[in-house]
């Protein structure tokens, strides 16, 4: 019987030159995804997806992380069975200067009760 070797699982990530403004703006339009980005930007970088306290199901959470990754906003990597996410802030800044900073600052300025109201509409 032949032995099979395990290879590291990888995820597809767009190159900086391939970042599309419409795709990025669409990803940024959702309050859950902005919450994820804000948590990553505020010192929770390189965090397992399950560590995020999101008011959605696991499958919906997975969808939000995939949208962010495919837009180029985050980088994800497997460690064992966990997926860790890192904000691609420097790469995003090089492609769309000021965009991510403006969105993150606006997100932080939203009062918690307004944010909770926005999440209920999701």
CATH level 3 topology of 19-116 = Arc Repressor Mutant, subunit A (1.10.10)
% of the chain beyond a pLDDT of 90? 53
Query: Does residue 4 carry a pLDDT above 80?
Result: no
Query: Does residue 53 carry a pLDDT above 60?
Result: yes
% of the chain beyond a pLDDT of 70? 78
In the chain, what are the domain boundaries?
Answer: 19-116
The residues pairing with 76 across neighbouring beta strands, listed in sequence order, are 85
Residues 27-51 have a mean pLDDT of 84
pLDDT of residue 111: 56
**Between 63 and 2, where is the model more confident?**
63
pLDDT in tens, 72-82: 999 999 888 88
Contact 107, 37 (CB under 8 A): yes
Contact 88, 76 (CB under 8 A): no
Residues 6+ apart with CB under 8 A from 69: 11, 12, 13, 75, 76, 85
pLDDT of residue 42: 87
């Amino acid at each position: 019987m032949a032995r099979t070797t395990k290879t590291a699982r990888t995820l597809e990530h767009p190159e900086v030159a391939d970042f599309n403004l419409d795709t990025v703006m669409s990803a940024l339009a959702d309050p859950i995804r902005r919450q994820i980005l804000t948590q990553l930007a505020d010192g929770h970088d390189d965090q397992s997806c399950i560590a995020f306290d999101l008011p959605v199901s696991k499958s919906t959470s997975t969808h939000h992380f995939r949208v962010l990754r495919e837009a180029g906003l985050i980088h994800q990597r497997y460690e064992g069975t966990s997926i860790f996410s890192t904000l691609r802030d420097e790469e995003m800044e090089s492609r769309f200067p000021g965009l991510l900073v403006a969105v993150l600052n606006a997100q932080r300025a939203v009062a918690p009760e307004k944010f909770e109201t926005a999440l209920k509409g999701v």
